[in-house]
């Protein structure tokens, strides 16, 4: 029998208990041993919960309990969770966590602390999709050329509705909140922060690169308007919020932002609240993993898979998948140096000379226009929608900054990167 202690018995923790009970026969057959939740830690002992386990409000009752073999950390947050998990490892416990923020900040220290102890975190990225196992173990023979993922279901749901039902951003945000897909404070989802945490974890497995959320380019979907969607449709693109990791020689590019992406790509076909991650390996080519990225049962499915693996084999892989440096001298591309194609939306006065002034500025930065659409608005203004060939983040930002100074251009200029 393997004894499990759960720290943080919220939605996911209760699902873990329910799955271990409901599916106990097949889980025992797969784990080769019975798995029992011995204790759960909660903040508020008097809150009603639909589970039947011993509760306490002191994490030490799990961490210091000599009977407990596996500690499941579902408390969330960074600092306190880090302290708790470190203590659990120090006490020789195997650890399973679903805490992406903890890993976004402390994954290398945790790999160091875990040493010969099992430390698993399948649920931290894309919920129920076994992407950690796939990337770390299934694709271990490959240099990973790129990872492009829809790693946040809330924003994918919102973009889908904006694109396919013509709903505006504010309206769909409210609806997502009503349906429980978005938090009361949606900034972490819509701003790309949630996806960034997950991207950093995957990038560590793929490249062994160490970066914090503060180090990378993160933009959200807040500025996307129906005019952008109209342009996208005109040129057979859809719009997705992607986490992107790419290897370019001895550099790695990490970024989270909305992209225009051709509709025929597999990742473009993932709609609604679902997640999907495309991984290109140098040997295997493109593989893609699709499923529910959130929800109690889907997330708990990944947590329980980790528990089964630990019950069966103890430590399998090193936490991030490598024992020695994966690649030497690998560094992050500076944000200013990131190069992509861009789409730009400008709100301009509808009069002669406008386009000429704009193209003059773009040309001075060696930026070439690929396509253009003019979208007439009321009051003698127009949306000017441009796509430009590959250029650097610095050059496009400098150009936009100069264009903003033109007195017939509204300063609200929006850009979306294009991922072909």
Cβ nearer to a second copy, comparing 275 with 391: 275
**CB 12 within 8 Å of CB 74:** yes
Residue 117 DSSP code: S
Contact call for residue 313 and a second copy (CB under 8 A): yes
Shortest spacing between CB 107 and a second copy, in angstroms: 16
Contact call for residue 293 and a second copy (CB under 8 A): no
Beta-bridged to residue 340, according to DSSP, are 391
Contact call for residue 272 and a second copy (CB under 8 A): no
Contact call for residue 290 and a second copy (CB under 8 A): yes
Contact call for residue 405 and a second copy (CB under 8 A): no
Of 39, 100, 148, 198, catalytic: 198
Shortest spacing between CB 9 and a second copy, in angstroms: 17
Is 198 among the catalytic positions? Answer: yes
Instruction: Name which position in 90, 174, 269, 410 contacts a second copy (CB under 8 A).
Output: 269
**CB 277 within 8 Å of CB 105:** no
Stretch that binds a second copy, among 125-133, 194-202, 250-258, 379-387 (CB under 8 A): 125-133
Closest CA to 74 of 56, 52, 97, 51: 97
**CB 195 within 8 Å of CB 243:** yes
Cβ nearer to a second copy, comparing 268 with 403: 268
Which pair of structure tokens corresponds to residue 371?
Answer: 């396509």
Using alpha carbons, list the distances in angstroms from residue 370 to 70, 357, 386, 391.
Answer: 56, 17, 7, 12
Instruction: Name which position in 164, 316, 331, 363 contacts a second copy (CB under 8 A).
Output: 316
Residues 16-55 as x/- pattern, contact with a second copy by CB under 8 A: ---x---x-xxxxxxxx-----------------------
Stretch that binds a second copy, among 47-55, 93-101, 320-328, 377-385 (CB under 8 A): 320-328
| Strand pairing category for 331-332 and 251-262 | parallel
Stretch that binds a second copy, among 106-114, 245-253, 313-321, 332-340 (CB under 8 A): 313-321
Contact call for residue 7 and a second copy (CB under 8 A): no
Using alpha carbons, list the distances in angstroms from residue 380 to 258, 354, 377, 403, 408.
Answer: 30, 13, 7, 19, 11
Cβ nearer to a second copy, comparing 285 with 353: 285
Contact call for residue 10 and a second copy (CB under 8 A): no
Which pair of structure tokens corresponds to residue 91?
Answer: 């006490």
Stretch that binds a second copy, among 135-143, 166-174, 188-196, 250-258 (CB under 8 A): 135-143
Stretch that binds a second copy, among 96-104, 170-178, 319-327, 372-380 (CB under 8 A): 319-327
Instruction: Name which position in 52, 165, 185, 283 contacts a second copy (CB under 8 A).
Output: 283
285: which residues sit within 8 A by CB, 6+ positions away?
none
Question: Within a 13 Å sphere around the CA of 418, how many CA atoms are in the beta-carbon half?
Answer: 21
Which pair of structure tokens corresponds to residue 11?
Answer: 């939605």
Cβ nearer to a second copy, comparing 144 with 354: 144
Question: Within a 13 Å sphere around the CA of 65, how many CA atoms are in the beta-carbon half?
Answer: 23
Shortest spacing between CB 397 and a second copy, in angstroms: 35
Which run of H or E residues covers position 341?
A: strand 339-349
265: which residues sit within 8 A by CB, 6+ positions away?
278
d(CA 394, CA 392): 5
For the chain, the distance separating the N- and C-terminal CA atoms, rounded to the nearest angstrom, is 51
Cβ nearer to a second copy, comparing 320 with 406: 320
Interaction site with a second copy (CB under 8 A): 15, 19, 23, 25-32, 122, 128-130, 133-134, 137-143, 208, 266, 269-270, 281-292, 295, 297-298, 300-305, 308-309, 312-313, 315-318, 321-327
Known catalytic residues are 198
């Amino acid at each position: 029998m393997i004894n499990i202690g759960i720290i943080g018995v919220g939605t996911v923790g209760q699902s873990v208990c329910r799955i271990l009970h409901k599916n106990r026969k097949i889980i025992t057959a797969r784990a080769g041993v019975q798995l029992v939740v011995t204790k759960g830690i909660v903040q508020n002992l008097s809150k009603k919960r639909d589970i039947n386990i011993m509760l306490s409000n002191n994490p030490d009752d799990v961490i210091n309990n000599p009977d407990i073999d596996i500690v499941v950390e579902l408390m969330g947050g960074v600092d306190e969770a880090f302290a708790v998990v470190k203590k659990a490892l120090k006490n020789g416990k195997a650890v399973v966590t679903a805490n992406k923020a903890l890993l976004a900040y402390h994954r290398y220290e945790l790999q160091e602390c875990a040493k010969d102890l099992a430390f698993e975190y399948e649920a931290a990225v894309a919920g129920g999709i076994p992407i950690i196992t796939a990337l770390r173990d299934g694709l271990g023979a490959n240099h990973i050329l790129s990872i492009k993922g829809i790693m946040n279901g809330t924003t994918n749901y919102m973009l889908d509705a904006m694109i396919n039902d013509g709903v505006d951003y504010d309206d769909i945000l409210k609806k997502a909140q009503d349906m429980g897909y978005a938090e009361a404070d949606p900034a972490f989802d819509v701003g790309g922060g949630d996806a960034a945490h997950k991207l950093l974890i995957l990038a560590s497995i793929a490249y062994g690169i160490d970066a914090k959320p503060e180090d990378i380019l993160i933009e959200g979907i807040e500025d996307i308007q129906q005019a952008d969607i109209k342009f996208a449709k005109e040129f057979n693109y859809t719009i997705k919020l992607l986490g992107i990791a790419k290897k370019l020689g001895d550099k790695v590019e990490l970024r989270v932002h909305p992209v225009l992406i051709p509709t025929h790509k597999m990742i473009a076909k993932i709609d609604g609240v679902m997640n999907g991650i495309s991984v290109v390996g140098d040997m295997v080519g493109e593989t893609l993993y699709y499923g529910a990225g959130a929800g109690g049962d889907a997330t708990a499915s990944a947590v329980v898979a980790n528990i089964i693996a630990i019950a069966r084999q103890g430590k399998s892989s090193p936490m991030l998948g490598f024992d020695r440096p994966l690649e030497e001298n690998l560094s992050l591309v500076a944000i200013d140096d990131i190069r992509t194609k861009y789409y730009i939306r400008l709100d301009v006065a509808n009069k002669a000379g406008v386009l000429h002034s704009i193209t003059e500025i773009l040309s001075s930065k060696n930026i070439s226009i690929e396509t253009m659409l003019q979208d007439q608005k009321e009051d003698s203004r127009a949306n000017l929608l441009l796509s430009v060939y590959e250029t650097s983040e610095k050059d496009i930002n400098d150009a936009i900054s100069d264009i903003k100074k033109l007195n017939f251009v509204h300063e609200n200029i929006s850009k979306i990167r294009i991922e072909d």
